[in-house]
C-alpha cells in the first residue's frame, strides 16, 4: 500500500513538474515566438508562392530577437495581462493572421483544468497495431468510438455504414483520398479541381511530388474537359466561409467533401452530412492542431482500404498517443452535452466557441464599418439543429476585400503590419485577403483596433 | 487548497481509470488480435507483392474469431502465464514473425512503472508551432534535447553542427530525404538504389505515388548508369544485419544512412556515425512503434529545410504529444546511464535489451543447429565503445536460409504455420526469409521450439 501511495505521488510529481515546465515555456516562448513569427510573416505551411522558397533563417531570427528586445515590443504570453494596447504600442506590433492557428481555444481548455488531461504509461503504444480487426488497423478503438459519439451529439455527419480512416491531420487524409480515388494505371494523371476561391494548400499538396497518379487542374468553375476528375468540396469553404455544393457538371467526377469547418461554432448545422468521402480534423473542431489528427468517414470499403494503404506506406500509421489524447477530449465534450448541464466552473465547448466567434465577427464588422476601406461577405441566416438557434455563418477565416482601387490587399495590410494571405493563393483576385479569426484574444483585439483606424 | 487536492485526486483517478481500462484492453485484445493476426498472415505494412492487394477483411476476421474460439487456440496476452507450449498446442498456433513489431520491449517498460509516464493537459499542443526559432518549426525542443543527449550517452552519432528534423516515423523522413535530395526540375526522376538484400519497403515507398522527382532503380550492386543517384545505406542492414558501406562507384551519388538499428542491443557501437544525412527511429531504439516518431540528423541546412518543407506539405508537422512522450522516455534512459547505477527494481535499458537479444540469438542458433534444414549468417566480433564488451552482431531480424533444395523458404515455413518474409521482397533469392527477433517472449519460444523440430 505504501509503495502504491508513493507510486501515485510519483505520478503526481511528474504531472506537476511537467505542468510547471510547460507553463514556464509557454510564458517565455509565447513572448519571443509570437513576436518573431509576426515579424517574419510567419512560417510557410499552407502558404502559396510567396513562401515557397522563403524560409526564415535562424540567423535572421536571432538578429531580430535582439532588435525586438531593444525596442521592447515583445508580445506577452496569452496568460499575461500586460500586452500593450494598440494605442500604447503605436501600431508597431506585427499582427500575423496568415495561418489558421487555432490558439483561440487555448483559454477554454485551460479553464477545463484536468478534465481532459491524459496519462500515458511507458509500456503503452509499443506495437504498430491498434486494432487488427479493423480495416484501418492503426485506428485506436477509443478514438473511433469518440468520433462516432461526437457526430451523433452534434448531428453533423452520418457515421452508420462508414469506415473511419484516421490520418496525421486531414492534410494526410486528403492525399490518401487522391491516392485511393485515382486509377493506378491510367495514361494521364487524374484531374483535381476545386471552385475558386479554394484552399491555398490544395494545389501545393496535390503537385509537390509531381505524382503520375493525380495533378492539380485548377478552378472547378473553369473545368470543361471531358476527362475524369476529383472535385474538392469544402463546406463551409476555406477561405470565404460559404456553404458549398459541387460545381462541375461532368459525369466522370468523384467528390471529396472537406468538412473541417462543419461544426456549430462556425456554421448552423442544417443536416447530418451524408457523402461518400468526408474529411474532418481535430485542429479546427477542438483546436488541438498540435495533435496532427484528422479522420475520414468513407462509404466504400475499397476506397477506405486504399486510403489506409496510403497511410501505411507514407507513415506506417498515425500517432497512438495523439489518438488516445483526442479520444479523451472528444469524449469529454460529448459527456458535457449528454449531461445537459454546464460542467463545473465552465461553459460547454461549442457554446463557448460559438459565442467567441459571434463576438469576434461583430467586432470585426464594426471595425470594417469604421474604416470604410474594406468589405466583408454577407451571410444568410440558418437554423442550427444542434443549438436550436438561428444565426449567420461565422467562419474561421474572414474573407476581406479591399475597396477603393487598392489592388493588392495583402501588401496594403502588410504596410500596416497586418499579415494576411492574398487572394492569388486561393485562385482569385489580389483585392481579397484571408484573415484568421482564431488567434488569441489580445492579438485579435489589436487587429480590429488597428483595422478600424486605417484611413482611406 | 482543498480544490487543489481534489484536482490532484482527479488526475490520479483519471490516470488509474485509464490504466485499468488499458490493462483490460491489452489482456482481452492480446488474445484475440494476436491469434487473428497470425492466422491471416499479418497485415501489410512493409509487405511486398503478396499483400499489395491482399487486405484482411473484417468479415473474415469475425469468422475466424469464432473458429479460433471453438478450437480454443487463442493466445493469451503477454502478462498471462497460460500460453500453451508448443507440445500442448500441437503446432497449431500460427506464429507471425513477418513484421518487425518491437513488442519484446513491452516487458521492460512495464517493469519501469511510472518513470516514463507522461501527463498531457488539455490546453497543451493547441498551436501548430513547436519552436518557430528552429528551422524545423514543428520539432519539440524537449525532444530535440533528448535526442542529442541520448546520442552523447550511447556515442553512436555526431550531433554537433547538425539540424534535427523530426518525422512521423523514419519512413516519412526517408520520403522527405528523397524529396530534398532530388532536383525539382530534372528531365528524369532521380535514381534511388540500395544494395540487395535491401529493406522491402524502400521500393514500395519510393514508387507508390509515381513521383516525377525520384524512382526506384533497384539493387545498388547492379547500378552502372552514368546518372545521378541516391544510395540508401542501411547499417546494420535490414534484413541481414550486416554492417554496410556504400557500394556504387559513381561520382554523382548522394547517400542516405539509415541507422534504425545502430544501437547497442543490436550491434557493437564502433564509432559515432558522422554522415551527411542519418535516419533514426524511436520504434527500433526504444520499442515505441506506436508513437510513430523518427528523427534525421542533417548536415546541410538547405537539405534540412527541404525535408521540413516535405513534412509541412505532407502532414503539417508531427504529433506534439508523441514528441513530449518520447522526450520523457529518451531522457529517462539517458538519466539511468548518467547515474551509473541500476535504477530501482530494474535493469538499464540497453543492458536489458542487449541481454535479451543475446539470449534469443543463442536460442535461435541452437534451434537451427538441431533442425539441420536451415542456416544463419556468421557475424564478426566487435568491441562496443558503449558497453566496453566484445560481442557479435545480434540483429533485430534473422536472415534465415533454407538448405537442401527448398526453393521457397517462406512457403515452406508457412506450411509449418510460421509466417516470415521471403527473399524476393528484399531483391534476392526465395531461399532466404527474414524473421523478426522482436516478438514477445512466449511467441519467440514457440517459434524456436517449432523450428528445432522441423525434420528434413
Instruction: Give the 3-state DSSP-derived string for A105-130, with helices as H, strands as E and coil as C.
Output: HHHHHHHCHHHHCEEECCCCCCCCCC
Query: Among A344, A343, A322, A323, which Cα is nearest to A333's?
Result: A343
Task: For residue B92, name the pLDDT band (cuts at 50, 70, 90).
Answer: confident
pLDDT of residue A30: 41
**Helix segments in A372-431, DSSP class H:** 409-415
pLDDT of residue B10: 53
pLDDT of residue B44: 40
pLDDT of residue A345: 52
pLDDT, greater one: B383 or A91: B383
pLDDT digits (tens, 9 = 90+) for B56-76: 322 233 333 333 332 222 222
CA B198 to centroid of chain Cα atoms = 15
Instruction: Identify the helix (H) or strand (E) that includes residue A268.
Output: none
Indicate the pTM of the whole model.
Answer: 0.85
pLDDT digits (tens, 9 = 90+) for B409-455: 999 999 999 999 999 999 999 999 999 999 999 999 999 999 999 97
pLDDT digits (tens, 9 = 90+) for B358-380: 999 999 999 999 988 999 999 99
Residue B51 has pLDDT above 80, yes or no: no
End-to-end CA distance of chain B: 74
From CA A149, how far away is CA A139, in angstroms rounded? 16
From CA A386, how far away is CA A50, in angstroms rounded? 40
Q: Check residue A339 and report its DSSP letter.
A: T
Mutation target for A interface from B127, B167, B180, B211: give the one with most A CBs within 10 A: B127
B292 with A126: Cβ contact below 8 A: no
Which distant-in-sequence residues (6+ apart) come within 8 Å of B408 by Cβ? B422, B430
Least CB–CB distance from B44: residue in A122, A293, A312: A312
pLDDT of residue B344: 56
Taking the CA of residue B364 and the nearest CA in chain A, the distance in Å comes to 23
From CA B51, how far away is CA B72, in angstroms rounded? 28
Asked if ipTM goes beyond 0.90, one says no
pLDDT digits (tens, 9 = 90+) for A385-421: 999 999 999 999 999 999 988 999 999 999 999 999 9
pLDDT of residue B86: 58
The size of the A-B interface in CB pairs under 8 A is 326
Residue B224 has pLDDT above 70, yes or no: yes
Give the residues of chain A that fall short of pLDDT 70: 1-90, 340-346, 456
pLDDT of residue B405: 84
Mean pLDDT across chain B: 84
Task: For residue B84, name the pLDDT band (cuts at 50, 70, 90).
Answer: low
pLDDT of residue A75: 29
Residue B4 has pLDDT above 70, yes or no: no
Task: For residue B456, name the pLDDT band (cuts at 50, 70, 90).
Answer: low
Under a CB-based contact definition with an 8 Å cutoff, are residues B258 and B244 in contact? no
pLDDT, greater one: B283 or B5: B283
DSSP A167-232: ESHHHHHHHHHHHHHS-TT-SSPEEEEEPSS--THHHHHHHTT-BSSEEEEEEGGG---SS-EEEE
Mutation target for B interface from A20, A133, A136, A290: give the one with most B CBs within 10 A: A290
pLDDT of residue A339: 76
- Mean pLDDT along residues B9-18: 47
- Mean pLDDT along residues B95-114: 95
Query: Among B336, B366, B118, which Cα is nearest to A320's?
Result: B118
From CA B8, how far away is CA B382, in angstroms rounded? 51
pLDDT of residue A343: 53
Least CB–CB distance from B122: residue in A116, A132, A322: A116
- Mean pLDDT along residues B178-196: 97
Three-state SS at A418: strand
A chain contacts of residue B309, beta-carbon cutoff 8 Å: 44, 55
Amino acid at each position: 500500500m505504501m509503495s502504491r501511495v508513493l507510486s501515485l505521488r510519483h505520478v503526481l510529481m511528474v504531472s506537476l513538474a511537467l505542468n510547471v515546465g510547460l507553463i514556464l515555456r509557454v510564458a517565455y516562448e509565447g513572448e519571443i515566438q509570437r513576436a518573431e513569427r509576426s515579424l517574419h510573416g510567419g512560417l510557410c505551411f499552407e502558404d502559396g508562392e510567396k513562401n515557397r522558397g522563403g524560409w526564415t533563417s535562424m540567423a535572421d531570427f536571432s538578429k531580430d530577437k535582439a532588435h525586438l528586445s531593444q525596442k521592447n515590443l515583445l508580445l506577452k504570453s496569452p496568460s499575461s495581462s500586460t500586452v500593450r494596447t494598440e494605442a500604447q504600442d503605436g501600431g508597431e506590433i506585427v499582427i500575423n493572421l496568415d495561418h489558421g492557428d487555432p490558439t483561440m481555444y487555448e483559454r477554454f481548455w485551460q479553464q477545463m483544468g484536468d478534465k481532459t488531461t491524459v496519462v500515458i504509461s511507458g509500456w503503452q503504444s509499443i506495437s504498430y497495431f491498434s486494432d487488427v480487426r479493423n480495416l484501418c488497423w492503426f485506428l485506436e478503438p477509443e478514438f473511433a468510438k469518440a468520433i462516432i459519439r461526437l457526430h451523433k451529439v452534434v448531428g453533423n455527419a452520418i457515421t452508420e455504414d462508414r469506415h473511419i480512416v484516421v490520418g496525421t491531420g486531414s492534410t494526410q487524409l486528403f492525399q490518401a483520398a487522391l491516392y485511393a480515388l485515382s486509377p493506378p494505371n491510367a495514361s494521364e494523371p487524374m484531374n483535381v479541381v476545386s471552385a475558386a476561391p479554394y484552399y491555398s494548400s490544395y494545389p501545393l499538396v496535390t503537385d509537390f511530388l509531381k505524382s503520375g497518379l493525380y495533378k492539380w487542374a485548377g478552378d472547378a468553375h473553369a473545368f470543361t474537359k471531358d476527362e475524369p476528375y476529383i472535385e474538392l468540396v469544402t463546406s463551409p469553404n476555406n477561405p470565404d466561409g460559404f456553404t458549398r455544393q459541387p460545381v462541375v457538371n461532368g459525369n466522370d467526377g468523384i467528390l471529396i467533401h472537406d468538412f473541417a469547418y462543419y461544426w456549430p461554432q462556425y456554421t448552423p448545422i442544417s443536416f447530418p452530412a451524408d457523402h461518400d468521402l468526408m474529411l474532418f480534423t481535430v485542429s479546427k473542431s477542438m483546436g488541438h492542431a498540435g495533435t496532427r489528427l484528422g479522420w475520414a468517414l468513407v462509404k466504400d470499403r475499397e476506397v477506405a482500404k486504399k486510403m489506409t494503404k496510403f497511410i501505411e506506406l507514407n507513415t506506417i500509421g498515425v500517432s497512438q498517443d495523439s489518438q488516445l489524447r483526442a479520444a479523451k477530449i472528444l469524449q469529454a465534450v460529448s459527456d458535457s452535452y449528454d449531461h445537459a448541464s454546464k460542467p463545473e466552473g465552465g461553459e460547454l465547448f461549442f457554446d463557448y466557441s460559438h459565442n467567441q466567434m459571434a463576438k469576434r465577427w461583430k467586432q470585426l464588422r464594426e471595425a470594417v464599418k469604421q474604416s470604410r476601406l474594406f468589405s466583408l461577405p454577407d451571410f444568410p441566416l440558418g437554423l442550427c439543429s444542434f443549438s436550436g438557434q438561428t444565426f449567420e455563418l461565422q467562419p474561421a477565416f474572414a474573407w476581406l476585400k479591399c475597396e477603393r482601387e487598392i489592388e493588392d490587399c495583402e501588401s496594403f495590410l502588410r504596410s500596416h503590419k497586418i499579415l494576411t494571405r492574398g487572394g492569388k493563393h486561393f485562385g482569385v483576385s489580389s483585392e481579397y485577403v484571408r484573415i484568421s479569426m482564431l488567434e488569441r484574444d489580445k492579438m485579435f483585439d489589436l487587429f480590429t483596433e488597428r483595422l478600424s483606424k486605417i484611413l482611406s
